[in-house]
Structure 1
Amino acid sequence: MNIRKTAVRVAGVGAVAAAALGLFSTGAANADTFVPLPGGEITQTLSDGTVVTVKLVGESANISPSMGATPVHRNAWVSASAQVHIDGDTTATGGNIYPGYVVGCQVTIDGGNVSGGATGGASWDSSGNATPTGGVTSGANLTLGPGQAKSFYVLDREMPDDYGREIHKTKNKFNGSDGSVTWSDETIGLNGCGGYAQARAFVNVEVETDNVISWITLWGQPFSIG
């Protein structure tokens, strides 16, 4: 069985959607800033003819002054829906969806040079593209210094294992040709970053057929969290 890992970037992710900002409140010092984001879509044909389409729709972020009220504290609430469709002449009977976010402190996470490197659950290629690794955690209370980036998964599903012990799953398993995960007001809490900070959504999808296991990554557009 061949195993292939594919990472696909959304075109035109270099521009942050600053022009589309809206304010939810009128107080200038305490305003929540709503950022509509474009989401994304990719279609990947696997080596055995399986066609996998991954979409990120309804994506947005609400940036809020932190309760810590200092420049090193940031808060954001993010919402979106990850959708997967499997088509073609395929033996696939479903798959797994792992949605999450990469957060960076003084690190460019839209490609290009990555100042200072990145640690904590994201590997970076020579072009500066981040790929979440097996060390990615769930939860979003992050502490980052300059030049650091961390990834986290949106899902943290608590369930018993075969022996009744508590385990946590960061994926949504679906059967058939369609699956989705929707989240609303998922918190990103960032501490310790004295410089600029960015975040970026990703959707990892694992699809297995009789002939191939493929890991496909869809990236959303980077956005500033202050």
Structure 2
Amino acid sequence: MTQRTLRAVGLSALIGGSVTAALLAGSASAGADAFVRLPGGTAKGEGIQIVRSEESARVSASMAANGVSRTTWVSGQITLYAPNLKPAKAGPSVGAAGETTLPGSNGTATNGAAATLSTGYIIGCQVNIKGLQGGLSGSLTPTAPSLSGTLTVPLAAGDVTFVVLNTKNIEKAGTYHLGYDDAQIDVQNCGGYAQARAFTTIETTGEVHQKVNLYGKPFSIG
């Protein structure tokens, strides 16, 4: 083999290796997680205020590449300012009744405490929830008010589901915090576009009953 031939073979191998590396890099970036930083917000009622900050989402496609499932890890901080609440103890929890039973409830319910603070996400499959103001019809996926484990949400086309991440009973006046960091939500059986939007609800009891909702900015989950 001549020196010119050897040089040509070496150049061919170098080009082939570069193309392979570029293809691998392209595959890695195509399957990379998408990080979404979301704006904070504030909602006020009579003598109460909710503030959401540090909200973000990290969205991943299914490792099975089946097109009907995806995973998102969500984080956020909720602060409740309630300096004028009249004290009231919480009774036994009856759980959430859900939007279908109680339209406009955001899937949350009080149990006699001075106030109940709930936070979670509204998830829709092939549904535009950008203009949501409250009271969507849908079913609440039963979940414990805990950040442990993975919350699995089965969604068919046209479904909208309220997923509660955590709930806190407020029994007296004060300032309260509720946070979640990389809480994992798996969306299954959605064969098309899916979207999510954070919600936080504070509901008071007593003579002045009020329900204040704070919604976040919608974001795509694939």
**Aligned-pair distance for 1:35?**
0.3
**1:11 maps to what in 2?**
none
**1:29 maps to what in 2?**
30
1:138 matched to 2:135? The reply is no
**2:186 maps to what in 1?**
189
- Separation in 2, partners of 1:153, 1:198: 16
Q: RMSD in angstroms over aligned alpha carbons?
A: 2.3
User: TM-score under structure 1 normalisation?
Assistant: 0.65
**Aligned-pair distance for 1:100?**
0.9
**Aligned-pair distance for 1:103?**
0.5
* Residue correspondence of structure 1 range 213-224 to structure 2 within 5 A: 213-224=209-220
- Separation in 2, partners of 1:131, 1:138: 19
1:42 matched to 2:47? The reply is no
Describe the superposition over 1:116-175 as per-residue Cα deviations: whole angstroms up to 9, x where unpaired. Answer: xxxxxxxxxxxx7445889553263111111111111102xxxxxxxxxxxxxxx21233
* Residue correspondence of structure 1 range 19-168 to structure 2 within 5 A: 27-45=28-46, 51-87=47-83, 90-93=84-87, 95-111=115-131, 129-131=134-136, 135=140, 137-138=142-143, 140-155=151-166
> Which one has a bigger Cα radius of gyration?
2
1:179 matched to 2:199? The reply is no
User: In structure 2, which of residues 183, 199, 203 is the aligned counterpart of residue 206 of structure 1?
Assistant: 203
**Aligned-pair distance for 1:219?**
0.5
**1:21 maps to what in 2?**
none
In structure 1, runs of 5+ residues without a counterpart are 1-25, 46-50, 113-127, 156-170
In structure 2, runs of 5+ residues without a counterpart are 1-26, 88-113, 145-150
The answer (yes or no) to whether the contact 2:156–2:189 under 8 Å persists in 1 is yes
Identity %: 32
- Separation in 2, partners of 1:207, 1:101: 21
Q: Quick check: which one's helix share is greater? A: 2
| Greater relative contact order, per chain length (Cα 8 Å cut-off, separation 6+) | 1
- Separation in 1, partners of 2:76, 2:137: 19
User: TM-score under structure 2 normalisation?
Assistant: 0.66
**Aligned-pair distance for 1:193?**
1.1
- Separation in 1, partners of 2:138, 2:48: 21
**Aligned-pair distance for 1:176?**
2.5
Q: Quick check: which one's strand share is greater? A: 1
**Secondary structure of the residue that 1:213 maps to in structure 2?**
coil
The answer (yes or no) to whether the contact 2:138–2:159 under 8 Å persists in 1 is no
Name which of structure 1's ranges 135-144 and 99-108 shifts more when overlaid on structure 2.
135-144
Moved over 2 A (4+): 90-95, 128-137
> Aligned pair in 2 of structure 1 residues 207, 134: CA closer, same or farther (>3 Å)?
farther
Describe the superposition over 1:55-104 as per-residue Cα deviations: whole angstroms up to 9, x where unpaired. Answer: 111100001122332211111000001111024xx453352211111100
